[in-house]
Amino acid sequence: MIVTVTFNPSLDYLLSVDQFKMGGVNRTNEERIVAGGKGINVFLALKALETACRKPQVL
C-alpha cells in the first residue's frame, strides 16, 4: 500500500479550443478545474497502473 502526502495541492484550470489561431481570438469550448500537484499526480499515475494506494493526504 502506498500513501501519498501532498504539502501544497493546487487546482489546475484546463481550457479546450476547437482550433487554435496564433495571434487571433480563441474561444473555449470546454473548461475544467481538476486537482493537481505532485502528490495528487503521483496518486493518479499509481491508480492508472492499478497499484494499491490511498487517496492523497493533505497536510
Task: Please give the tally of structural domains in the chain.
Answer: 1
More confident position, 58 or 14: 14
% residues pLDDT > 70 (the chain): 98
Structural domain boundaries enclosing 50: 2-58
Taking Cα atoms as reference points, which of 31, 41, 51 lies closest to residue 9?
41
Residue 59 has pLDDT above 70, yes or no: no
Here the cell at position 58 is 493533505
pLDDT at 6: 83
Convert the pLDDT of each residue in 30-52 to its tens digit.
Answer: 999 998 888 888 888 998 998 88
Residue 1: pLDDT band with limits 50, 70, 90: confident
Interstrand relation of 28-36 and 2-6 (parallel, antiparallel or unpaired)? unpaired
